[in-house]
């Protein structure tokens, strides 16, 4: 099964971002991908945290969800739709929601990001400050879904997570009952934290859970002045990086081999040795 991680440098115009996403999904499908994953905030990178409120959608409605459904159906792929702002019970905050669409265009799963990023640093007179909790309401439920490359083929269990979730291994352990074959981590890592920790954390999650990890990311300099780390990648169950794109818009692809998962888990049955 070929899987694809899409890297974007999203801007402040939703329509332009959706058009870029459509084009990149088409590219991935043309190269044989049957599962495609978009990055966090693929649809919008605003100038202020609260800009998300104006484009927040109701579940099952809106141009962002419609585009994802149509693209999945048009190309016959499983589509992990990065994240989009979804209306929440708090009118001052949105949910950061990852929607998964089946090849027929139906919604297969939705995960609301649980862990909210906060980071402050002064370095050389340059200050970085992020606090997602100002405009985002945290989700609460670990979520996984099942996908199949082709009708009648072996089911693939996909665990859903988003960006900062990557730092919390207990979330992935919760997703491993039963074990996942693929963990998805759509992200918009900052350049600072990405340079220090991105690959290290992705490889750790793959190794400790003995499964593939797909990590589509934002990667470049955005209209709002923010710089994201990029390095979208696909990692195998042994922690080997199979494909990576450092910066800029594009697609990385790799084969997901169920036999490879079985081989790794058979040689080193760490998942069966767990005591906690």
- Of the candidates 99, 163, 180, 211, the residue annotated as catalytic is 163
Q: How many CB atoms lie within 10 A of CB 83?
A: 28
Decide the pairing of beta strands 143-148 and 155-160.
antiparallel
145 is catalytic: no
Catalytic residue, from 40, 57, 132, 247: name it: 40
The catalytic residue among 57, 87, 99, 113 is 113
Contacts by 63-69 with C-beta closer than 8 Å and gap 24+?
63/14, 63/15, 63/18, 64/14, 64/18, 65/99, 65/107, 67/18, 67/21, 67/22, 68/99, 68/101, 69/101, 69/105, 69/106, 69/107
- DSSP 3-state of 74: helix
Nearest to 17 by CA among 95, 82, 75: 82
Is 40 a known active-site residue?
Answer: yes
Partners of residue 252 on adjacent β-strands: 5
> In the structure encoding, which two tokens stand for residue 60, read together?
């099952």
Please identify which residue in the block is written with the tokens 């859903």: 160
Identify whether the C-beta of residue 7 lies closer than 8 Å to the C-beta of residue 41: no
| 263 in active site | no
Cβ count near 58 (within 10 Å) = 9
Closest CA to 143 of 165, 123, 164, 124: 165
Which amino acids are annotated catalytic?
Answer: 40, 113, 163
């Amino acid at each position: 099964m070929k899987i694809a991680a899409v890297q974007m440098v999203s801007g402040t115009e939703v329509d332009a971002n959706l058009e870029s996403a459509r084009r990149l999904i088409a590219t991935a499908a043309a190269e044989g991908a049957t599962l495609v994953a978009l990055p966090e905030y693929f649809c919008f990178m605003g100038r202020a945290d609260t800009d998300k409120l104006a484009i927040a959608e109701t579940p099952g409605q809106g141009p962002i969800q419609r585009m994802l459904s149509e693209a999945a159906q048009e190309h016959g792929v499983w589509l992990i739709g990065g994240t989009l702002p979804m209306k929440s019970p708090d009118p001052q905050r949105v949910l950061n929601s990852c929607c998964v669409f089946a090849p027929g265009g139906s919604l297969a799963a939705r995960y609301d990001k649980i862990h909210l990023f906060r980071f402050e640093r002064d370095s050389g007179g340059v200050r970085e400050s992020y606090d997602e909790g100002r405009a985002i309401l945290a989700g609460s439920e670990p979520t996984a879904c099942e996908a199949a490359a082709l009708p009648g083929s072996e089911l693939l269990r996909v665990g859903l997570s988003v960006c900062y979730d990557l730092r919390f291994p207990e979330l992935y352990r919760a997703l491993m009952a039963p074990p996942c074959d693929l963990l998805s981590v759509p992200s918009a890592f900052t350049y600072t934290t990405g340079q220090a920790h991105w690959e290290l954390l992705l490889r750790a999650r793959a190794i400790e859970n003995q499964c593939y990890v797909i990590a589509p990311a934002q990667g470049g300099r955005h209209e709002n002045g923010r710089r994201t780390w990029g390095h979208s990648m696909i990692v195998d169950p042994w922690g080997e990086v199979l494909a990576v794109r450092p910066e800029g818009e594009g697609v990385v692809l790799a084969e997901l081999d169920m036999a490879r998962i079985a081989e790794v888990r058979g040689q080193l049955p760490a998942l069966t040795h767990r005591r906690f």
